[in-house]
Amino acid sequence: MWKISKPTKLVLLLLFLLGFSNPIQAQQEPDGEALLILSHPSTGQVYLNALFFGDKAYLPVGEVLSLLYIPNERLSSGKGLSGVFPDKKNPWSIDPIQNKIMINGKEETLPADKFFLGDTDLYFHPDYYLRIFGLQFTVNILNLSASFTAQYPLPVEERQKREMLRKNLQSNNKTDESVPMLYDRERKFLSLGLMDYVLNFDKTDQGTNTSFQLRTGMELLGGDFEGAIAGNQNGKNIDIDYSGLRWRYVLPGAMKPEKNVLLTTITAGQINTSSQTNSLALTGISISNNPVVPRQELDVFIIDGYTEADSEVELLIGGQLVDFSRADEVGYYRFNAPISFGTTRLTIRIYTPNGEVITEDRQFQIPFTFLPKGFVTYNIQTGFVQNSLDSLSDNRATHGDVAIGLSNSVTVRAGIDYGNPFGENKMYHVYGISTRIFQQYLFNVDVLPDRYYRATGSVFYANNVNISTQVTEYVGSSEFTRENQIRDANLNVFLPFKLFGRFTGIRVSGEKIWLEGGFRSNIQADFNTQIGRVSTRFNYRGDIAGNFNLSENESWNTKGLLTSSLTYSLPRSPSLPVFVRGIFFRGQMRYDVKGNKPIAWNTLFSQTLFKHGRFTLGYERDMINKQGQLQVGFLYDFNAIRTSSQFNKRGKSYAARQSFSGSLAYDPAGKMILPSNRDQIGRSGISVRMFVDQNNNEKYDEGEEIVPAKAVQLDRSANMVLGSDGILRMSQMQSYWTYKMTIDISSLPDPSLAPKVTSFNLVAEPNRYKQIDVPLYRTGTIEGMAIINKNGEKQGIGGLRLLLKKVGSKDFLETIRTFSDGGFYTFSLLPGKYTLEIDPAQLDFLQAKIVQEVLEFEIKALSEGDYIEGLNFELNPISEELAADMAEISDPESEESEDVENEATTAEETPDFFSDSKLGHSKLSIVIEKEQVPYYYVIVATSPDKTSARIEAQKFIDKGKAVWIIFPNNETENYRIAVGKYKDYKSAAKALEKAKIESAETSWILKY
C-alpha cells in the first residue's frame, strides 16, 4: 500500500472541490462580453449577460430558465441542470462536466465548443436553446439588444396572467386590512354637496309644456340629507311639488356589513315602509340595524382536496380570482370560500408542476332573504300616510319586521303592519322561513294569515340548468285576489346547450290560476342564440286551456303569439371605420299563431355619432289597424351636460321633447362648482391633490408644487377627470363605502417622485366631495459591492444577481446585477424597509458561502431623496473552507496518536481517502471514494448537496465530534455525514446506541 504526502493530499482535495474530479477539455476564452437588453412581452425589458464567440452570443442557461420560470434542478456536480419541458414526456439535462446532454429523453455528446462554464453560470450555444426549449433568440450587436420567439407556451406567461389576477384580487365587501386607513369617515355639521337637474320642453299637437326637477343632497348635522322639487308650467299656471325629503344619520356599524350591531341608521322625513305585502309612503321616523353597505357574504364554505405536490391552486368566484395557495408536500390544499348572496359559481383551477391544468366547478344560490348564523336584523317605521307629494292625512301607520339567522342555511322572519291604511283589519302579521338544503336547493315559505300561504323552491346547477317553482294558496278576499283567484302555481325551467359552437339555451315557463268560475293556464317559451354578430330571439306565449287574454288591445287579443327578432351590432372599436362604429340594427315581427297572420312589425336603427352622441330611427307598423308610428331621437353627452331630442309621430298626432340634464357639485379642494352630465345624488366623490412635500410635514402648504397626473387607481369603478388646476377628481363613488386607493408610480410625470404610502383605504362621504392629499418625495438610491475572498485577496464578482424585496412582501421587487468590478447600484426606491440578498441559484453555482446572507436597510421619506451606500456582500469559497479544515487536520505539530472517545483508530491512508491524524479533537475528514478495506461508519445525517453537507457537518463539529463527509457514489446521490469510523461491526453498534441518544433516532451503520 502506498501513501501520499499531506500537501499532495490537500491539493487533490482542492482540485476535486473546484470541479475537476472529471477531466474536461480546456475552455476557449470568449472573444467578448456584453450586457444585453432582453425584450419580450412576458419578461418586459431586463438585462442579460452574454458571451461572444465570433458572431454567436452564448446566453446564461440558469438565468434564462429563471427568467422564464422553466422548472429545473441542479445536477449533483453542481454545474449541470435537468428538467422536463414543454411537458413531462420531454426530459432534458445538461452536464458540462461529463460533456453529455439529453434532449427529449435522448442522450448525446455535448461538444466542448457549444458551451462555456463561467464563474456564475453556464453559457450555451443558441442552437441548443432552440432544440431543447423551442426558444429562437435574435441578438443585435450594434444596439446590444436581444429578443426571442417561443414554440411552446412559457410558464412565465401563465404565471404573468395569474399574477395579474392575483394583484387584482379583492373581496368586494371587505376592507383590505394590509393597507392603512388614512381617510376615515369625517362628519360635517354642514357641507354643500350635490344637485341633479332635469329641464324638459314638450310640444304636441295639443299644445306646449315646460317642466323641471331639482334634486339636492348634502351633509347636515353629521348625516346625509336629500330632497327633490318638481315644477310644471301648464299654460299660465306653475305647479310646485316636493318629494323624498329625508335626513339620515348613519352610525359606524352601518359601514361594516360583516358585523351585527344594535343600531345602524336613523331616518326622519319622507320614508317608505319595508312591508313585504304593500309598502306605504309615510312622513315619520325609521330606525334599523341593516348595513348601508350591502351585506354580500353569508357563509364560509370549506373547499379542500388533493393534487400533485407543489401545484398552484386558484379559487375563482364568478370567474374572478379570490384566493390562491400552493399544495403542500403531500398535495393537500384548502380554501375557506366566501359564499355571497345571489348565485355563486365556484371554480377550482389547479396548475400542476408538469404544466397540466385541472378545473372543477360548483354552484350555490343564496337569496338576500338569508342572514348569517346568529345575525338579527330589524326595521321599524312609523308616521302619517302621505295623501299626495305635499300633503298628509290623519292616518297613522306603523310597520316592524325582524329576521333571525338560525344558521347559515335557515333564516326565519316575522313582521307586523299596524294601522287602517294597510287594509280592512287594523293589524296584519307576516311570517316566513328560508332554508338552503344541500347548498344549492332553496325552499321558502311565506305566511300571511287571512291573506295567503306561499311556497317557492329553486335549484341552480353548475351546468347552468335552472329550475324554479312557486305555489300560492289564497285565503278569502284581499288586495291580492283582484281576479278572485283561489290559488296559482308556476314552473320555470332553463336548459342550456351548445349551438354552432356557442352556448345558448331555451327557457320554458308555465302558469295555472284557479278561479272561482274555472281556471286559466298559459305557457311561454324563449330561445336565444347568436351567429357571428347576429343575435336571434324567438318567444312564444299562448294559453293551454281556460279563459285567456293577453291584452284588451285587439292586436294582442290572441291565444298564441310568436315574436321573433334579429339584431345586428358592431362594437365601438377603434379598429373599425368611424361611420360604422357602434352601429345597431333590429327587426322584429309579432305573429298570431292561431289566426295564422302577422300582427305587427318594427325596425330600429341606432348609430354612434361624434363619439359621444347616438342617433336612433325607428318605425313600427300595426298591421291590424293599418297604422304606423315613426320615432326619431338624438342624444349627446357633453362634459358638463346631457342633451336629448325626441320626436314621435302616429297618424296626425305628434309629440316632441327637448331635455337637458346633469348635475352640479361643490369641490372644497378647489373651492369651485363642478358640472357633470350624470346624476350624482346618493353618490360621492373625492378630490386628489398630489404635491411635493418640501418641508417633510406630510401636509400641503401654500406654495408647494402640485403634481398633475392621473396616477391613482381605486379598487372599484369611478369616473376620473384631471382639472386644469392639477387636482384629480373622481365621481360616481358609493357613499359610505370603503375604497382602496393605490398610487401608480409609473404614471407620475417625474420618475424620481413617489409617495410614502402607495396604498391606503378611505371612506367615501355621502353626497359630497372629500379632499385627499398625497405628499410626494424624491425616491432613494443604494449602492454597494459584492466581493469574494480568493487566495487571501478580495475580488469583485461581476454578473451577480441581487434580489431586492420590500419587507412584508412575498415577491421580489427588482433584480440588480453587479458590474464587472462587483459594484452595483439602483435608484427610484420608494420610502420603506427593504432586504437585499444574492440569488441562491448563483450561490450554489459559485459553491461559495456568504458572510451575511441578507442585508436590511430603510429608505427614508425626504424631499431631497435618501442615499444609502456601503451595502456590501462578502463571500468565501466553500472549497477554501474545507481546505482550511484539512490544513488544520494535517497540522504536522499535532500528530500524537491516542485513543478517541468513539474508539476510532487512525486508518492507513490510501490515495482516495483523507483522515485526521488526531481524532480526539473536533476534526473533519473527507471520504471521496471507497477504500480497499471496508470500515463501519455511524451515519447521523444525509444532505443532497455539498453546501448543506458542510453546514450539517459543522453542527456536529461544534458539539466536539469527529466528523466524516462521505461523497456520493453510484449507489446514491446524497452526501452522508458520520460521527464514527470502526474496523468491526460490534464497536460500531455500540457507538450507534450513543449516537441515537445524542444525535438522532434515525442514525444507522454504513459498511463502506
pLDDT at site 782: 92
Q: What angle, 0 to 180 degrees and rounded to 10, lies between the N-to-C axes of helices 878-889 and 946-957? A: 40
Quote the cell numbers at residue 233: 308650467
pLDDT of residue 662: 92
Residue 337 scores a pLDDT above 70:
no
Q: What is the pLDDT of residue 1006?
A: 86
The mean per-residue pLDDT over the stretch 913-930 comes to: 54
Mean predicted confidence (pLDDT) in 844-859: 83
Q: Provide the CA 752 distance to its chain's centre, in angstroms.
A: 29
Helix (H) or strand (E) holding 66: helix 61-68
- Whether the per-residue pLDDT at 670 is higher than 70: the answer is yes
pLDDT tens-digit readout, 942-958: 887 777 788 788 888 87
Whole-number pLDDT of residue 112: 87
Confidence of residue 558 (pLDDT cuts 50, 70, 90): very low
505 compared with 306, residue with greater pLDDT: 505
What pLDDT score was predicted for residue 441? 85
Beta strand 780-790 pairing with 867-868: parallel
Backbone angles phi, psi at 927, to 5 degrees: -115, 110
Return the residue matching grid coordinates 352601429: 583
Compute the distance between CA of residue 341 and CA of residue 357 in angstroms, rounded to an integer: 29
pLDDT at 348: 82
CB atoms within 10 A of CB 481: 16
Residue with cell 308650467: 233
Can you give the pLDDT at residue 827?
83
14 conformational bin, left if phi > 0, alpha if psi -120 to 50, beta if neither: alpha
Flag whether pLDDT at 255 surpasses 70.
Answer: yes
Residue 684 has pLDDT above 80, yes or no: yes
Whether the Cβ atoms of residue 543 and residue 559 lie closer than 8 Å to each other = yes
What is the pLDDT, as a whole number, of residue 632?
94
The model's pLDDT over 829-839, given as tens digits with 9 standing for 90+, comes to 888 899 999 88
Query: The pTM is what?
Result: 0.64
Range 990-998 average pLDDT: 80
Question: 855-894 burial, b if ≥16 CB within 10 A, otherwise e?
Answer: bebebebeeebbebeebbbebebbbbbbbebbeebbeeee
pLDDT band at residue 298 using 50, 70 and 90 as cut-offs = low
Residue 602 has pLDDT above 70, yes or no: yes
What span, in angstroms and rounded, lies between the C-alpha atoms of 747 and 724?
17
The per-residue pLDDT for 3 is 41
pLDDT band at 49 (very low <50, low <70, confident <90, very high): confident
Per residue in 756-770, pLDDT (tens digit) is: 888 999 999 999 999
Measuring CA to CA, which residue among 453, 478, 457, 452 is closest to residue 467? Answer: 457
> Looking at residue 600, what is its pLDDT?
93
Confidence at residue 688, expressed as pLDDT on a 0 to 100 scale: 95
Using alpha carbons only, how large is the chain's radius of gyration in Å? 39
Give the list of residues 6+ apart from residue 642 with CB closer than 8 angstroms, or none.
Answer: 635, 636, 660, 661, 662, 677, 678
Residue 774: which pLDDT band, with cuts at 50, 70 and 90? very high
Name 90's Cβ contacts closer than 8 Å, sequence gap at least 6: 84, 104, 105
CA of residue 563 relative to chain centroid, distance? 43
Instruction: Round to whole Å and give the CA distance between 548 and 522.
Output: 8
Q: Which of 25-29, 368-372, 930-934 has the least mean pLDDT? A: 25-29
CB–CB of 818/842 below 8 Å?
no
What confidence score (pLDDT) does residue 18 get? 39
Q: Choose the weakest-confidence range: 557-571, 717-731, 780-794.
A: 557-571
Do the beta carbons of residue 9 and residue 17 sit within 8 Å? no
In sequence order, what DSSP letters do the residues of 240-301 get, joined into one string? EEEEEEEEEEE-GGGG-TTS--S--EEEEEEEE---SS---EEEEEEEE---SS---EEEEE
519-548, pLDDT tens digit by residue?
A: 888 899 988 888 878 888 899 988 776 654
- The DSSP letter of residue 580 is G
Lowest mean pLDDT among 26-30, 62-66, 506-510: 26-30
Mean pLDDT over 438-445 rounds to 83
Proportion of the chain above pLDDT 70, given as a percent: 83
pLDDT tens by residue, 180-208: 899 999 999 999 899 999 999 999 988 88
Pairing verdict, β 441-448 and 237-250: unpaired
Which of 809-818, 869-878, 915-924 is predicted with the least confidence, judged by mean pLDDT? 915-924
Task: Give the residue, 773 or 238, on which the prediction is more confident.
Answer: 773
Looking at residues 667-682, what average pLDDT do you find?
88
- Predicted confidence band at 236 (pLDDT cuts at 50, 70, 90)? confident
User: pLDDT tens, 157-173?
Assistant: 777 666 665 555 444 44
Select the more confidently predicted residue: 306 or 645. Answer: 645
Residue predicted with more confidence, 372 or 376: 376
